[in-house]
Copies of this chain bind each other. A is one copy, B any other.
Amino acid sequence: MAVYTEIGDGELQAFLKDYELGTLLAFKGIAEGVENSNYLLHTDAGFYILTLYERRVKAEDLPFFLSLLEHLAARGIVCPTPLKGRDGVALRELGGRPAAIFSFLDGMWVRRPQTVHCAELGRALAQMHEAGRDFPMHRANALTVADWRPLHERAYEAASEPDESLHAFLSDELDFLENNWPKDLPSGVIHADLFPDNVFFLGDALSGLIDFYFACNDFFAYDLAICLNAWCFEPETTFNVTKAHALLSAYEKSRPLTQEEREVLPILARGGALRFLLTRLYDWNTTPPGAFVTRKDPGEFVRKLRFHRSVRSSSEYGFDL
């Protein structure tokens, strides 16, 4: 949750003059999104979300993100759709920050995803991958295999009480992944952060995908590997193969995996676990315990990584249940 930038009413009125949204009726900061400030906006034309981009999102990446959302929405993927101003431009400025207005998306994220949600996720993920195939812009993944070792070292150096055994374990894992990461797999635009809080449901039906601010060009199957990590473990970090089967088989209805994609899935899953382990570890080591931001325990992803290291064959992910 986050509302960082305070916007005055006069400033907002002036900003809205560039849109065809009628009179401003209400404006409230909402507790959603960690990187950005989000506001509920009510005008004569309806309810919207206004996003101000803070700190972590790079301004030069915003055209990619906004164009992608527009592209996906035009192809039937339900996601926040950027509204254009009278001049046709969606990315504007408010309060000294990049800003955009989006359609209001109904739905709630599911705190305890069940098998039915994993199936819905698989279906939507494949559709998103297909819908992004003709997206003309490109953004490299800034958090892929080459970026993990420097991040690992920065996290280690920032620790007040460095964990030597964890450092050795992760160094060993990095050696393996750097040597075995696939060079070429079916690729395109991936979400790269599709955790449960970024997927909305109405009842058991998936109603939208949000928070595309890690989206980039990478292996489609890596997006699936991230979802395996994010959706298919129980709270005590045991792997639920039924949920994984639901995710993978629903995905493959739209886009069957190649033999090579199936074979390297355990490696991609190790990479996915390590990527979130490292960002959480870095945040853990650089965030004072008393700070307002909730620190997420990196240990969860150490356990997930250990599971993927124990996998001997892709079939253990439940392809053929």
A contact set with B: CB distance below 8 Å: 1, 3, 8-10, 12, 23-32, 40, 42, 47, 104-112, 202-203, 290, 292
Supplied contacts A25-B202, A26-B107, 11 more A-B pairs, CB within 8 Å:
A1-B29, A8-B112, A9-B109, A9-B111, A23-B203, A25-B107, A26-B105, A30-B30, A42-B47, A290-B290, A292-B292
Minimum C-beta distance from A103 to chain B (A): 12
Complex Cα gap A30–B37 (Å): 12
CB < 8 Å neighbour of A108 from B26, B47, B104, B111: B26
Q: What are 20 A-to-B residue pairs whose CB atoms are below 8 Å?
A: A1-B3, A8-B112, A9-B110, A9-B111, A10-B111, A10-B112, A23-B202, A23-B203, A24-B108, A25-B106, A26-B105, A27-B108, A28-B31, A28-B40, A29-B31, A29-B32, A30-B40, A31-B31, A40-B40, A47-B47
Residues of the B chain whose Cβ atoms lie less than 8 Å from the Cβ of A109: 9
Contact (A9, B40) CB under 8 Å given A1-B29, A29-B30, A31-B29: no
Closest to A106 in B: B25
Residues of the B chain whose Cβ atoms lie less than 8 Å from the Cβ of A110: 9
Complex Cα gap A106–B25 (Å): 5
Residues of the B chain whose Cβ atoms lie less than 8 Å from the Cβ of A40: 28, 30, 40
Minimum C-beta distance from A117 to chain B (A): 11
Residues of the B chain whose Cβ atoms lie less than 8 Å from the Cβ of A32: 28-29
Asked whether A28 lies within 8 Å of B25 as measured between CB atoms, the reply is: no
Closest to A25 in B: B106
CB < 8 Å neighbour of A106 from B10, B12, B26, B31: B26
Minimum C-beta distance from A256 to chain B (A): 32
Complex Cα gap A30–B38 (Å): 10
Complex Cα gap A30–B292 (Å): 17
CB < 8 Å neighbour of A26 from B8, B12, B31, B104: B104
Complex Cα gap A31–B292 (Å): 15
Residues of the B chain whose Cβ atoms lie less than 8 Å from the Cβ of A112: 8, 10
Residues of the B chain whose Cβ atoms lie less than 8 Å from the Cβ of A107: 25-26
Minimum C-beta distance from A47 to chain B (A): 7
Residues of the B chain whose Cβ atoms lie less than 8 Å from the Cβ of A10: 111-112
Residues of the B chain whose Cβ atoms lie less than 8 Å from the Cβ of A1: 3, 29, 31
Closest to A40 in B: B40
Minimum C-beta distance from A105 to chain B (A): 8
Residues of the B chain whose Cβ atoms lie less than 8 Å from the Cβ of A42: 47, 106
Complex Cα gap A32–B1 (Å): 13
A-B complex: 7 closest residue pairs judged by Cβ atoms: A29-B31, A25-B106, A292-B292, A3-B31, A26-B106, A28-B30, A9-B108
Residues of the B chain whose Cβ atoms lie less than 8 Å from the Cβ of A105: 26
Residues of the B chain whose Cβ atoms lie less than 8 Å from the Cβ of A12: 108
Complex Cα gap A32–B26 (Å): 12
Complex Cα gap A110–B31 (Å): 22
Asked whether B8 lies within 8 Å of A111 as measured between CB atoms, the reply is: yes
